[in-house]
Amino acid sequence: MKPKLLVFLVGFLIVSLLGSPELISGNSEQTQFRNTNGLKVPSYLTDVPPEHFAGVSSASNSLAEARKSAIGDAIRQILGAIGVKYNHHYFDEVSGNVGNPQRVIDDKLSRNAHGIVLGAEKGIVKSSWLTDASGKYVYFVLIYYPEEKIQEMRRLSKGAKVVATVLHENGNYAELRVSEVNGVSVVISSAEIMVTKKNKFAKIITLFFWRVPSGSEYEISIPITPLNLRSNSKQIRLSLDNSRKNFSDYLLGAELKRIAVLSGHDELGRPVRTRVSF
């Protein structure tokens, strides 16, 4: 075989093993790779621009799996910048023999943590991949995530905090003040009153007259106009018409306890709930 042809075939084989870079940004320039500690990595991985996050995948069996792992790595860094707690699990085991090694990789990031970082994939500006000596895929990704987005995610990651206090209660209605204190938009859309009755004279009446229950519990749905809150307070009036004492309650010495439960959702669709007793 001619030397020139041999050199060409060897060069072609090396390029095939390394894989071809993939551009997602639309930039026509080819990705530049650099050798770092013996590993060939894209230049944007070693020189990360401001307000960008670079992710590297674990060695994966498929390109899709490697891409997901690289994005997860970048998201972990974004979560660190936001200051959010997250759960990450990585497992890598090689078994078998020298002639037929078997490698198992498990790389998981908590789904709850993913929900805190919104729009990360839309911020991908560059990506590339290669294959290692064992034929596994390694993916690299660069994500643009500016400081204003970090601040916004930090606000959302705190979650809404809704507090209710009783301003006035006269047996016919209860006047409540409802506040959101974490700066996250919420809509309070439903209200319920949980009524608990404890009959003080139940034992005596059961002993000498007839059997009566020691108490009872029930819930009442109260129609309300939805409340939109964010770092502010609004007042709401709940009718108590169906939760007042009746004649038998007085005979039984009933003690009445009411708990108002207000429910809704925040701007990400997460449920919110608060309660107050009176």
Residues 141 and 214 in one domain: no
Residue 199 is predicted with a pLDDT of 87
Of 99, 120, 155, which marks where a domain is finished?
A: 155
User: Does a structural domain hold residue 12?
Assistant: no
Residue 244 is predicted with a pLDDT of 82
- Return the closest-CA partner of residue 51 out of 132, 131, 143: 143
86 or 125: whose pLDDT is higher?
A: 125
User: Does a structural domain hold residue 122?
Assistant: yes
What CATH number does the domain containing 230 carry?
2.60.40
DSSP-H helix ranges across the chain: 3-18, 43-46, 63-82, 111-116, 147-158, 202-208, 247-251
User: Does a structural domain hold residue 147?
Assistant: yes
Is the pLDDT at 7 greater than 50? The verdict is: no
Task: Tell me which residue range forms the domain holding 92.
Answer: 21-155
CA–CA separation, 53 and 99 (whole Å)? 39
Of 137, 155, 173, which marks where a domain is finished?
A: 155
Of 127, 155, 183, which marks where a domain is finished?
A: 155
* pTM for this prediction: 0.64
17 or 126: whose pLDDT is higher?
A: 126
State the average pLDDT over residues 179-208: 91
Is the pLDDT at 167 greater than 90? The verdict is: yes
Residues 145 and 91 in one domain: yes
Residues 172 and 150 in one domain: no
Residues 26 and 146 in one domain: yes
Is the pLDDT at 174 greater than 70? The verdict is: yes
